[in-house]
Amino acid sequence: MSNVYKKTDVILIGAGVMSATLGSLLKELAPEWEIKVFEKLADAGEESSNEWNNAGTGHAALCELNYTSEQADGSIDITKAVRINEQFQLSRQFWSYLVSSNLIHHPQEFIMPIPHISFVQGEKNVSFLKKRFEALSNNPLFQGMEYSDRPEKLKEWMPLVMKGRTSTEAIAATKIDSGTDVNFGALTRMLFTHLKSKSVEINYNHSVENLTRTADGSWEVKVHDIHSGKQEYHTANFVFIGGGGGSLSLLQKTGIPESKHIGGFPVSGLFMVCNNPEVVAQHHGKVYGKAKVGAPPMSVPHLDTRYIDRKKTLLFGPFAGFSPKFLKTGSNLDLINSVKPNNILTMLAAGVKEMGLTKYLIQQVLLSNEKRMEELREFIPNAKSEDWDIVVAGQRVQVIKDTEAGGKGTLQFGTEVVSSADGSVAALLGASPGASTAVHVMLEVLEKCFPQHIEEWESKIKEMIPSYGLSLVENPALFNEIHASTAQMLDLSKKELVYR
């Protein structure tokens, strides 16, 4: 049996943080537009956006060392760190707007203040961290950052990390108190509750199987209702493919020229989670280390205080690994099925180029629990195996494409918005910096796909996101104002967990 439905303005595929953000922006900019959502799982935010599937770091480049690279002349390039920080400020502003407009409530249920700490060991890394601190500390976006290589100070900042540390190796850290832990799962669910209240039609247990262009240039979306087994056909003027790891295969189904010569490389992840409340209570911060030589940027180890299920918890990881699935709930055939005649050369070139990465990921999969404990003990010297369990994190599908700089089959670690020339369909690929920059990425979708509306929408966008179109690093007064007002609106000035 099949059903054909009346045309709608917008279809969002996937109920993760990206579709949630795009839907929420559109409901403010074009409230009269009809929006339908199709999600194959039973609820919103169940894949990568779920709180247990990602690290929940509000990425503002305050502690992630891979966003600042050391140049050949020894100087530190902070361009990427500034860009990511500015992008995170857009998210903070939009979330604050939603709270102040009573569209979502209780910000402490999705965002909490937490110090962001970078911690390094060894002379070379200490020298890098010091230079990084000097390059960032005078920048308005990173004000309040402190540096220390004195063990007594480091003990104050992270007692658990310093306890039982006997090595005489040089160590140092930077700390900045304005970092955040974001429960992207809770945020996604809140945004979908809000969208539902605005008459957005949300269809769970509905898997999108195909997209076909219709004669009038809109899109027909073939949907499988998992419960009834029926096929449904829905049409829309605009389709956003926010399927996370599932986006690539749907993008390929559109057949648009922009979907060609693109592949995906899945990277799986594991976290260790502390089951001992006494240990959890001894730590307060997100402590990021430096990636090991040869390790991909997304496997930088970190020890994170997290706020999940209204409880303070402690996670370590992620340990990267290899799995051919593109979604945690995906199929072992995902990788093979993503190879098409138009991307096979790109994929093969990447396979040859990234032998080292593949080997590294396979080694990571084969790590024994004791080996993982050894890595944890670089952060918590006294860590006991019985205090730590393993949880499987989400899948990240890194984009592979041909680039001028990297040549055929170059692995990308960022996010990519791929859209058709007429703006009628857009997909989000890649996963880094990820959910933290969802607002920036979805504004990019609006700019690419609705250029004809941007002028009319601009004043509303600026009301919601006052720094839209402006550089905060060049407007320090505006940054200070925005940082203070969003901290107040999102309850970030409270230092400890105060759930309502």
Ligand X SMILES: Cc1cc2nc3c(=O)[nH]c(=O)nc-3n(C[C@H](O)[C@H](O)[C@H](O)COP(=O)(O)OP(=O)(O)OC[C@H]3O[C@@H](n4cnc5c(N)ncnc54)[C@H](O)[C@@H]3O)c2cc1C
Binding site for ligand X (CB under 6 A): 13-19, 38-41, 46-49, 53-57, 59, 184, 207-208, 242-244, 246, 250, 269, 318, 327, 393-394, 396, 428, 431, 433-436
Residue corresponding to tokens 């706020």: 307
**Residue 460 half-sphere exposure toward CB, CA atoms < 13 A:** 15
Q: Is residue 207 packed enough to be buried (19+ CB in 10 Å), middle (13-18) or exposed (0-12)?
A: middle
Minimum CB–partner distance for residue 297 and ligand X (Å): 12
Count how many residues are written for the chain.
500
Query: Closer to ligand X at the Cβ: 171 or 441?
Result: 441
- Ranked by CB distance to ligand X, the top (closest) residue is 16
CB 223 within 8 A of CB 207: yes
Minimum CB–partner distance for residue 15 and ligand X (Å): 5
Minimum CB–partner distance for residue 165 and ligand X (Å): 26
Query: Closer to ligand X at the Cβ: 394 or 409?
Result: 394
Identity (one letter) of the amino acid at 236? A
Query: Closer to ligand X at the Cβ: 57 or 174?
Result: 57
Query: Closer to ligand X at the Cβ: 336 or 477?
Result: 336
**CA dist., res. 232 & res. 210, Å (int):** 11
Nearest CA to 232 among 222, 241, 218? 222
**CA dist., res. 322 & res. 318, Å (int):** 13
**CA dist., res. 145 & res. 143, Å (int):** 6
Minimum CB–partner distance for residue 330 and ligand X (Å): 8
Minimum CB–partner distance for residue 148 and ligand X (Å): 25
Residues 6+ apart with CB under 8 A from 481: none
Q: Which two tokens stand for residue 114?
A: 């937490």
Query: Closer to ligand X at the Cβ: 318 or 409?
Result: 318
Query: Closer to ligand X at the Cβ: 243 or 409?
Result: 243
Minimum CB–partner distance for residue 445 and ligand X (Å): 12
Minimum CB–partner distance for residue 153 and ligand X (Å): 26
Query: Closer to ligand X at the Cβ: 207 or 276?
Result: 207
Query: Closer to ligand X at the Cβ: 44 or 349?
Result: 44
Strand partners, 269: 320
Q: Give Cα separations from 3 to 204, 235, 304 (angstroms).
A: 17, 12, 48
Query: Closer to ligand X at the Cβ: 87 or 346?
Result: 87
Minimum CB–partner distance for residue 13 and ligand X (Å): 5
- Helices marked H in 101-183: 123-137, 151-157, 159-162
Query: Closer to ligand X at the Cβ: 15 or 280?
Result: 15
**CA dist., res. 436 & res. 85, Å (int):** 10
Query: Closer to ligand X at the Cβ: 46 or 220?
Result: 46
Q: Give the DSSP H or E segment for 143.
A: none
Q: At what angle do helices 17-29 and 79-100 cross, to 10 degrees?
A: 60
Minimum CB–partner distance for residue 259 and ligand X (Å): 15
Minimum CB–partner distance for residue 431 and ligand X (Å): 4
Look at the alpha carbons of 298, 301, 307, 311 in this order and tell me if their dihedral is positive or negative.
Answer: positive
CA angle 5, 10, 13 (to 5 degrees): 90
Minimum CB–partner distance for residue 416 and ligand X (Å): 12
- Helices marked H in 209-354: 247-254, 277-281, 334-337, 344-353
Annotate 402-467 with DSSP letters as a single string.
EETTTEEEEEE-S-EEEE-TTSSEEEEE--SSGGGGHHHHHHHHHHHH-HHHHHHHHHHHHHH-TT
Minimum CB–partner distance for residue 115 and ligand X (Å): 15
Identity (one letter) of the amino acid at 447? E
CA angle 185, 186, 188 (to 5 degrees): 65
Strand duo 69-70 + 76-77: pairing? antiparallel
Query: Closer to ligand X at the Cβ: 176 or 349?
Result: 176
CA angle 292, 432, 395 (to 5 degrees): 80
Minimum CB–partner distance for residue 191 and ligand X (Å): 11
Query: Closer to ligand X at the Cβ: 39 or 354?
Result: 39
**CA dist., res. 53 & res. 34, Å (int):** 31
